[in-house]
Amino acid sequence: MGARAVLGTTLAVACAGAVFSFLLRHKDLFWGETEECRVRGIVEASKLLVDEAVYSTMRRNLHKRETISPSQLLSFSKLPEPTSRAASRAADIMEVSVQEAMRRAHLGSAPSGPPTDVLSEDLLKTIANLSGCQPYMLPPRCPNTCLANKYRLITGACNNRDHPRWGAANTALARWLPPAYEDGISEPRGWNPHFLYNGFPLPPVREVSRQVIHVSNEAVTEDGQYSDLLMAWGQYTDHDLAFTPQSASHAAFGGGADCQRTCENRSPCFPIQIITLRDYIPKILGPEAFGQHVGPYRGYDPAVDPTVSNVFSTAAFRFGHATVHPLVRRLDARFQERLGLLPLRDAFFRPWRLLEEGGVDPIMRGLLATPAKLQVQDQLMNEELTERLFVLSDSGTLDLASINLQRGRDHGLPGYNEWREFCGLSRLETRADLRATTSHGSVADKILDLYGHPANVDVWLGGLAERVLPGARTGPLFACIIGKQMRNLRDGDRFWWENQAVFTEAQRQELGRHSLSRVICDNTGLSRVPRDAFRVGTWPQEFESCDSIPGMNLGAWREAPPPEDACGFPDKVEDGDFLLCEESGRRVLVFSCRHGFQLHGPEQVACTRRGWDSQPPVCKDINECEDVTEPPCHASARCKNTKGGFQCECTDPYVLGEDGRTCVDSGRLPRASMVSIVLGAVLVCGLAGLTWMVVCRWTHADPESSLPILEGEGEGTSQLGHGKPQDVSSPQHHSPAGDSEQTGTEGQDARALPGV
């Protein structure tokens, strides 16, 4: 009987457990929870996680302002502006939500593969909408005025009328190949040590930097052809094209890494200049590769997407770091080094040197007259960048090579071989293949000792290690990627300067006369420059007077004055402005409002024989605080509307964080508490002083009530007023009970004893 009872109990418990587990997994069948409700709960929980991480980051930055680390400096330089910050937050929320949805879909097993293999497209759209990512994926509203066909928007949006987000700010970087993440979402390659690639784990990026990329400052080879300005122009262009704002949070949420976000990447409005494509890029690619990958301009092609790609932004165009010289050379008016050589580490975040050590001109002379560092396979990056980046006292340094390698992994870039195949180049499978591609056996051996197989190599390192093409400063892979990107930026730009519909023939001729040397003449104190600023010049033989450097004649843009008509010009628009335009032979005014104001009325009015065809519009203040869908201030702050803007205000002791919208605990007492403490201390001190004055006056005014202590030889007695002699050590005079037994003046005198 006992065994049967035990068996029955065991079966009952097992059945109950199975039923309970089934109910938990399929509770929506019984309680009616819909998929949308579950997703909404996931997204709301993700918002709390992300916002807490953002808050923790701001609180840490607030409390560590006096001890800024190099990583903080790097992040501060990439702090997003409000629109980008909102996109970054939405992307973080979407990423965390997708990770949690995949985890639940796998019921505890490790997820693998991209989210689209596990979650339905409708589910991902729902998450994108609830997280706030959806608005950044939808096409923006494009203006329909005569100016919209004449000038590009500052955001780069609406350049392509059919695809208005192509090339615009706050849009994702383009992917030319599917991303490579170890969890299918955001975990970069090499994140999980048990993951093997062709039988080998990926090496730590710092180890790659130390063993393959690093070279001492003294060992660098200088470029005998091109000046340091070639490197500086590449840095300027790269930071313009490839800028991706820092994630709103540096604190990890959900145990994840701070990786590339779904929709936070911000490609700018691609202001490619004539100097870049005509003078700079041919020197980087070489004449043969430039003709193959860029070629001549054949007009605007609306089918070409000019969006900056991930591989260009995070790998190929970072080749320029291998051309950075470890020294900043500053030359006087006779091109002599009077100010001394400046190590690069002593120039980072030190703008005061411009004010106190000669200004911009000595640096510009140094850029023109001294060679850049030559990119050599066994001298890739000097120690100023790998060991001393952003030196600030004893707070540590960064390694730019490690940052570049990890950046590529964070952005989900596939390996070296995938990109070679993308560019029509052969895959590398053996040590001999890699040796032949680099033409440097020892470098190839070091790379394979770390990676195990050529296909595992990070694309940034693989591209840098390739043998440089003739007349170029890059190998075949980076020449292909950079050339493709530059061609897309040119051909996909409706406002490209060579487009027949943008400028007149006379204007294009003037633009063609412009050069970087002319820019330097017009904006510095230099009176002599090389005709080609990118070629290292010898002073004074190869420097020409600025008077002989051609420049643009702006007369080609002079417009004829408007004809006399019945319209004239309207009064000035308060908090706005208007521009004159011509459309179908008619004079047209296009109105706009300043930031924080909204146009009420027609955006465009045309001149007719009877005057303007409608009344001009007005600009009215936008009350941002009334926006409940996207409130401008965090829930921790109070929103106050101002003319043309708003203010987020905090209650003491909270202060605004670095985002300007979230209240962060300052860690100090509220001002009201401090005032109370000070007033309390003043009151206590005042009462003490007043009491002392009263006692002193009372004792001096009534001599008979003075309390002299009668000294006796070893008797220890005293005379208290009219009372009898008492032993001062008696408990009766020191305990509450003793005091309460006394009456009359004797009791009063006894209570006054401690004050004597």
State pLDDT tens for residues 391-448: 665 567 889 999 999 999 999 999 999 999 999 999 999 999 999 999 889 999 999 9
> Which has the higher per-residue pLDDT, 270 or 682?
682
Which distant-in-sequence residues (6+ apart) come within 8 Å of 63 by Cβ? 667
pLDDT of 693 above 90: no
> Which has the higher per-residue pLDDT, 669 or 9?
669
| Residue 641: pLDDT band with limits 50, 70, 90 | very high
Strand segments, DSSP code E, in 318-433 are 327-328, 342-343, 371-373, 381-382
What is the C-alpha to C-alpha distance for residues 135 and 519, in angstroms, rounded to an integer?
Answer: 40
What is the C-alpha to C-alpha distance for residues 750 and 726, in angstroms, rounded to an integer?
Answer: 11
pLDDT of 238 above 90: no
- Tell me the average pLDDT across 716-723: 39
Nearest in space to 152 (alpha carbons), one of 135, 166, 138, 139: 166
Q: Are 253 and 96 in contact (CB under 8 A)?
A: yes
Residue numbers annotated as active site: 239
pLDDT of 493 above 50: yes
pLDDT for the residue numbered 403: 93
- Tell me the average pLDDT across 216-228: 94
pLDDT of 696 above 50: yes
Nearest in space to 576 (alpha carbons), one of 602, 597, 603: 597
pLDDT of 200 above 90: yes
What is the C-alpha to C-alpha distance for residues 59 and 64, in angstroms, rounded to an integer?
Answer: 9
What is the C-alpha to C-alpha distance for residues 424 and 12, in angstroms, rounded to an integer?
Answer: 66
pTM as predicted: 0.78
**Would you call 529 helix, strand, or coil by DSSP?**
strand
Q: Which helix (H) or strand (E) holds 401?
A: helix 400-410
Tell me whether residue 321 is annotated as binding.
Answer: yes
Handedness of CA 121, 127, 129, 134 (dihedral sign): negative
DSSP 176-189: SS----TTSSSPPT
Q: How far from the centroid of its chain's Cα atoms is residue 216's Cα?
A: 30
What percentage of the chain exceeds 90 in pLDDT? Answer: 47
Fill in the amino acid letter for 356.
Answer: E
Compute how many other C-beta atoms are within 10 angstroms of the C-beta atom of residue 123: 19
| Residue 220: pLDDT band with limits 50, 70, 90 | very high
pLDDT for the residue numbered 697: 72
CA distances from 289 to 418, 473, 483, 489 (A): 20, 11, 8, 17
Q: Helix 228-241 crosses helix 361-369 at what angle (to 10 degrees)?
A: 110
pLDDT of 309 above 70: yes
Q: Which helix (H) or strand (E) holds 56?
A: helix 35-63
Nearest in space to 369 (alpha carbons), one of 546, 533, 516: 533
> Which has the higher per-residue pLDDT, 116 or 591?
591
Average pLDDT, the chain: 81
pLDDT by residue (tens digit) across 243-266? 766 665 544 444 433 433 332 323
